[in-house]
Structure formats: structure tokens, C-alpha cells
């Protein structure tokens, strides 16, 4: 499209927002964009619709079709309302839960969504204030609701907000409900299609009572109460990074029995501006820097952090030299799986029908731990909705122990159907007390796992390719990896190739085609070599980049070998980069 044509199209779309269907403040902001000589902001705001994808909405806040505002949120809620009425029209009362995080406009968007649901005759349970995403998931199941939404942009920068939609099992929607909801949302073409005038009689404010029930349920998953009693004064530094964990995480730690929770006062301030961090992401060392400093000041033993909507957990521990180190998502997943399976076994709870779940890009050491303990493992795509899908299929038939992914998400309980940093914080603290009973730090417990089950080192590499040409380059790279598959990576022959876009694999040794048992296709290519090196390649679904997940394995016989093994692993990752030409 020529620039003049694009500008004309954008101006026409913007003028559609000057009608009486839109509020005066919005009309004024749109007119100001139209009046500016520089059309850059106008184009960015209106050149496309903010897409309601399979996970919902996410975007920069502001006026326009490509922004998070009351009208894009309204269209999403009206479309979801229309679909719920089609699916559950036989019910006497359709019910939904609405939660929100600390972000700017999150409460406003939540209240407007409540108005729209209620205007459509749908009963709404609206939280009185910010709450973590996993608690919203819990509430859907607890109150027997058909759906739920939460206003959050997870750990994105402060300019963003988002809208995640859930189904009646408490999990984010998958097919067919995701695509059917998207179709209904896409039918909403104008603000006049949205029922904004709510029915207050159908909106019920909820809060403390659900908090109490949620925390009680979480306390019930504790596996080492005696260890906590012996180490109840364990010094734990916790930061919510300005988000939803600010009250619920400390209260849950106390319900488990921990009495010495140290706050980071500056980061207990609830704020959508995230004033103390550049990015409120517990994967980023900078986000935990203040908490680590507090741990040094107080001689604490564990640092815990949660992202703004309380579903991802970050942790830092002391190494053998007393230096603070951050655990990555694969390491926390290893610790969770090892601990949960070990305690289930020691408690006599393993009966042969237990299972765990991981994503295909998460460390294979999780599989080794499961297999050696006779626990079934499921491998799923990235995204916690796929872990929840396995839980849904196994409900009432098999026992869920835990599941997680390398991107700092884990779920220790089966009554929530999304990653839960609230329970993850409590179990990490409990695990620290349990390890202390054995004379080990959490870091040394991780070392024990490496000695017992093998050492793995993982590294994610992202190659950014911006713009239309970048997208085409990424597509060409994927096509080339498929057309000209690697035969060797970092000196080891490729043994298996798995192409999830066709759900077919190939055994290079046996020359056999394999069928991959997955619920749908995904643009992911995976190589596994003879020395168990695993490389997964996939384009990002939300950013202009192609991602490479590299994993290497070694055997170690004692903790003293780990430092040299770590160096060897890092060198091998560089060899993998050379093999992939990245």
C-alpha cells in the first residue's frame, strides 16, 4: 500500500471514532492526532486492529484500533459475552470472574468489562482490588463459573496492558473456544455494537473470603510441615515488583509456617509505573537487584520475586562461596520436580498413576527424574494452556504432581489451571527448609540433582529481524533448516529431527519416520544429537525474532566437577551457535 493510500485509510478509520458512539475524551484525543502534521502516531494507532489472539489482547495503551482502550477491551468483552451465551444458553445463569493487576487502567478496564458482561445478562464476580492471575483461575473453578478474564500485560513494560480470557476449567482457552471467541470479537465493528450500560444487580464484589479459601487450599499442598516448624524463622526476602503478590504471597508464606519474611519496601508500592525497575520481569537480574541487596544486608537465605500478575517466580540463592546467584527457569523446574516427586515417594503417595508435565523446550533432565522414579511425563507446547489441557484430560483418572516451563512458570497444585507464583514461592521456601534439614542449601540441593541425574546447561538465543523484510528472513531461515537439515551439531551427529509443523519426526539412524502425538501443529523444529544435545528453533509469536533453545548434557560424579563442567558446557553452546550460523 502506498503511503498516501495508507494515510487516507488511517484517517478514515480515525474519523469513525469521532462519532457520538465514542466518549468526548476519546474524540478529543483522536482529533488531536488527526490535526498533527506528523502522522506517525495516528498511523500507529489506527493502521490495524489490535488482534484478539488465542491468548487475548496485549498492546500499548491509548486511543485507536491498535491500542488497549475501553473500546478494544469492550469489543473483546462483548464478543466473549456473545460466545458464552451461545455455548451456555441453557444455563439459568452464566457466571464469570474478573481480575486485574497493578497496571495503569487495569481497574478501569475491569469495571468496564463488568458493565458489559452484566449488560448482557451475565453474572459477574469482580475482585475488590488487584489479585494474581492464578487466584482468578482458582476462583473460576471454586465458584463454578463458565469463564473469566484478567486485565494484565504480565511482565511487559509499563506502556502496555492486556486481556487474558479463560474457560470454565480455569485455563486459558484452546480450540475450539479460542477461535470461536475470536470470530465473535471480530464481528464487533463499532462502539455502538458494545453494551456498555451495566446491570449493577449482576455484579458482586469479592475479595477477602476467596483469598482465605485460596490460601487455605495452597497451605494444604505442603509436603514438609515438620521441616518448616524446625526452620520457621528462615530469612526470606520477597518482592512483588510493585504487583499483585504484595499481600497474598507473604500471607501464604505465613500460612505455610514461615515467620521471617523480609520486605523490599520500595517495591511493595503498588504501581503501574514500576518506578524501581526498567522491566518488571523476574527473569531479568536487574528486577531482583534490590531484593538481593536486601538479602545481603539481612543475611537472608532465599530471595523470591513475582511478576506483576503473580504467575512467574524468580529466585536467588547463595552459592558455596556465599555469593548470590539467580536460578534460571530450567533450574527452578528441576528443583520443583525433584522435590515434589521425592516427597510424594517418601510420603507413600506414588501409586503408579502419577504424572508431570513440561514443555518441549524445557530441560530433558525433568524427563530423567520422572522416568527413574516411575512417574509419567507429558511433553507439550510452550504456553501453560497446554499443561492445563493435559490436566483436563487426566482429571479423575491420574494424579498431577506438578508441571512447568523454562520461562519461570510452575504449578504445584491441581486446583489452579495456570502457572502460580504464589504456590511456587511457598514451595521454594519449604524446599529450602527441607534441604536445610539435610545440611544442604538450596544451591547444594541443585548440585545433588546434577550429580544424581546428570548435568544440563541451557541457553536461549534470540535473533531479532525487524520489519516486513525481517519476517520474510525468519520464514526463509525456518524453510532452510527444514530443506537442508543439519546432520551434525557441535561435533555430535544428529539422531532425531522433530518437525512440529507437520507432526512428523525422523530417526536418522533407523531412517524411520515418526508420528508426533500433539493436539495441533506448531512452527517448531527440534534437533536431538547422539550426545543428547537438544536444539529447538521457533519464530516468536509476539516479537520480530527467531528463538533458539540450546541444551547440552554431561555426567558428573561429584559436586567438585561442576565448575569445570559448566565451563565446558558454555564452550559447547558457542559451538552450537557456530553450527547454526547464529
Collapsing DSSP states into helix, strand and coil, what is residue 381? coil
User: ∠230-236-239 over CA atoms, to 5°?
Assistant: 155
Collapsing DSSP states into helix, strand and coil, what is residue 218? helix
CA distances from 200 to 76, 92, 107 (A): 20, 18, 16
Only one residue has cell 520457621, namely 232
- Whole-angstrom Cα distance, residue 101 to residue 71? 19
- Give every CB contact of residue 330 below 8 A, 6+ residues apart in sequence: 362, 363, 365, 406, 456, 458
C-beta separation of 149 from 309 below 8 A: no
- Per-residue model confidence (pLDDT) at position 282: 96
H/E stretch holding 34 reads helix 24-35
- Per-residue model confidence (pLDDT) at position 542: 63
- Whole-angstrom Cα distance, residue 384 to residue 320? 34
- Give every CB contact of residue 551 below 8 A, 6+ residues apart in sequence: 363, 364, 456, 457, 458, 533, 534, 535
* Strand positions, DSSP E, 109-180: 123-127, 147-151, 160-166
Residue (of 338, 402, 326, 334) closest to 364 by Cα position: 334
Q: Report, as residue numbers or ranges, the catalytic residues.
A: 154
User: ∠10-13-15 over CA atoms, to 5°?
Assistant: 110
Burial 510-536 (b: 16+ CB within 10 A, else e): eeeeeebebeeebebbbbbbeebbbbb
pLDDT in tens, the chain (582 residues): 557 889 999 999 999 999 999 999 999 999 999 999 999 999 999 999 998 887 789 999 999 999 999 999 999 999 999 999 999 999 999 999 999 999 999 999 999 999 999 999 999 999 999 999 999 999 999 999 999 999 999 988 999 999 999 999 999 999 999 999 999 999 998 999 999 999 999 999 999 999 999 999 999 999 999 999 999 999 999 999 999 999 999 999 999 999 999 999 999 999 999 999 999 999 999 999 999 999 999 999 999 999 999 999 999 999 999 999 999 999 999 999 999 999 999 999 999 999 999 999 999 999 999 999 999 999 999 999 999 999 999 999 999 999 999 999 999 999 999 999 999 999 999 999 999 999 999 999 999 999 999 999 999 999 998 877 888 899 999 999 999 999 999 999 999 999 999 999 999 999 999 999 999 999 999 999 999 999 999 998 666 789 999 999 999 999 999 999 999 999 999 999 999 988
Backbone torsion region of residue 154, taken as left when φ is above 0, otherwise alpha when ψ lies between -120 and 50, otherwise beta: left
Strand order of the sheet with strand 376-380?
376-380, 354-359, 399-405, 409-411
- Give every CB contact of residue 37 below 8 A, 6+ residues apart in sequence: none
Q: Are strands 488-489 and 512-515 parallel, antiparallel or unpaired?
A: unpaired
H/E stretch holding 423 reads helix 421-437
- Per-residue model confidence (pLDDT) at position 471: 83
Neighbouring C-beta atoms of residue 208, cutoff 10 Å: 8
- Per-residue model confidence (pLDDT) at position 3: 78
Q: pTM here? A: 0.96
Q: In the numeric block, which cell numbers belong to residue 68?
A: 488497549
- Give every CB contact of residue 177 below 8 A, 6+ residues apart in sequence: 83, 87, 167
- Cis peptide bond prior to 421, omega within 30° of 0: no
- Whole-angstrom Cα distance, residue 310 to residue 210? 16
Only one residue has cell 528443583, namely 335
Q: In the numeric block, which cell numbers belong to residue 102?
A: 497493578
Amino acid at each position: 500500500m502506498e503511503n498516501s493510500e495508507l494515510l487516507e485509510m488511517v484517517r478514515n478509520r480515525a474519523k469513525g471514532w469521532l462519532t457520538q458512539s465514542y466518549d468526548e475524551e476519546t474524540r478529543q484525543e483522536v482529533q488531536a492526532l488527526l490535526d498533527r502534521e506528523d502522522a506517525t502516531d495516528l498511523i500507529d494507532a489506527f493502521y490495524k486492529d489490535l488482534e484478539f489472539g488465542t491468548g487475548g489482547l496485549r498492546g500499548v495503551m491509548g486511543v485507536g484500533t491498535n491500542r488497549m482502550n475501553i473500546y478494544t477491551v469492550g469489543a473483546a468483552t462483548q464478543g466473549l459475552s456473545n460466545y458464552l451465551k451461545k455455548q451456555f444458553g441453557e444455563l439459568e445463569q452464566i457466571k464469570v470472574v474478573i481480575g486485574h493487576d497493578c497496571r495503569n487502567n487495569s481497574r478501569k478496564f475491569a469495571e468496564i468489562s463488568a458493565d458489559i458482561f452484566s449488560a448482557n445478562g451475565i453474572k459477574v464476580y469482580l475482585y475488590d482490588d488487584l489479585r494474581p492471575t492464578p487466584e482468578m483461575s482458582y476462583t473460576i473453578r471454586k465458584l463454578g463459573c463458565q469463564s473469566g478474564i484478567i486485565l494484565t500485560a504480565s511482565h511487559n513494560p509499563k506502556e502496555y496492558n492486556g486481556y487474558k480470557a479463560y474457560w470454565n476449567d480455569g485455563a486459558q482457552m484452546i480450540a475450539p473456544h479460542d477461535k470461536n471467541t475470536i470470530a465473535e470479537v471480530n464481528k464487533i465493528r463499532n462502539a455502538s455494537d458494545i453494551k456498555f450500560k451495566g446491570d449493577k444487580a449482576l455484579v458482586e464484589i469479592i475479595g477477602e473470603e476467596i483469598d482465605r479459601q485460596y490460601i487455605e487450599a495452597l497451605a494444604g499442598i505442603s509436603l514438609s510441615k515438620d521441616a518448616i516448624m524446625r526452620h520457621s524463622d528462615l530469612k526470606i526476602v520477597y518482592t512483588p515488583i510493585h504487583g499483585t503478590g504484595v499481600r497474598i504471597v507473604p500471607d501464604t508464606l505465613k500460612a505455610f509456617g514461615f515467620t521471617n519474611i523480609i520486605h523490599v519496601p520500595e517495591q511493595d508500592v503498588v504501581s503501574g509505573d514500576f518506578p524501581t525497575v526498567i522491566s518488571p520481569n523476574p527473569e531479568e537480574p536487574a528486577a531482583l537487584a534490590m531484593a538481593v541487596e536486601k538479602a545481603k544486608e539481612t543475611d537472608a537465605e532465599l530471595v523470591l520475586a513475582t511478576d506483576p500478575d503473580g504467575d512467574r517466580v524468580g529466585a536467588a540463592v547463595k552459592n558455596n562461596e556465599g555469593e548470590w546467584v539467580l536460578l534460571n527457569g530450567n533450574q527452578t523446574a528441576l528443583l520443583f520436580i525433584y522435590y515434589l516427586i521425592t516427597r510424594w515417594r517418601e510420603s507413600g503417595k506414588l501409586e503408579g498413576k502419577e504424572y508431570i508435565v513440561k514443555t518441549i523446550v524445557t530441560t530433558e533432565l525433568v524427563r530423567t527424574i520422572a522416568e527413574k522414579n516411575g512417574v509419567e511425563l507429558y511433553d507439550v507446547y510452550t504456553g501453560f494452556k497446554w499443561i492445563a489441557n493435559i490436566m483436563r484430560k487426566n482429571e479423575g483418572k491420574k494424579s498431577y504432581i506438578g508441571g512447568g516451563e523454562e520461562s519461570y512458570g510452575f504449578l504445584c497444585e491441581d486446583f489452579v489451571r495456570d502457572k502460580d507464583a504464589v504456590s511456587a514461592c511457598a514451595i521454594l521456601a519449604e524446599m529450602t527448609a527441607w534441604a536445610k534439614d539435610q545440611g544442604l542449601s538450596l544451591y547444594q540441593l541443585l548440585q545433588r540433582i546434577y550429580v544424581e541425574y546428570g548435568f544440563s546447561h541451557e541457553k536461549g538465543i534470540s535473533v531479532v529481524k525487524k520489519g516486513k523484510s525481517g519476517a520474510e528472513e525468519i520464514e526463509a531461515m525456518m524453510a532452510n533448516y527444514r530443506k537442508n537439515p543439519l546432520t551434525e551439531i557441535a561435533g555430535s551427529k544428529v539422531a532425531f529431527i522433530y518437525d512440529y509443523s507437520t507432526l512428523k519426526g525422523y530417526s536418522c539412524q533407523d531412517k524411520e519416520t515418526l508420528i508426533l502425538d500433539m493436539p495441533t501443529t506448531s512452527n517448531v523444529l527440534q534437533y536431538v544429537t547422539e550426545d543428547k544435545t537438544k536444539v529447538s528453533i521457533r519464530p516468536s509469536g509476539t516479537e520480530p525474532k527467531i528463538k533458539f533453545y540450546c541444551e547440552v548434557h554431561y555426567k558428573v560424579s561429584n559436586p567438585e566437577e561442576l565448575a569445570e563442567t559448566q565451563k565446558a558446557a558454555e564452550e559447547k553452546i558457542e559451538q552450537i551457535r557456530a553450527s547454526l550460523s547464529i
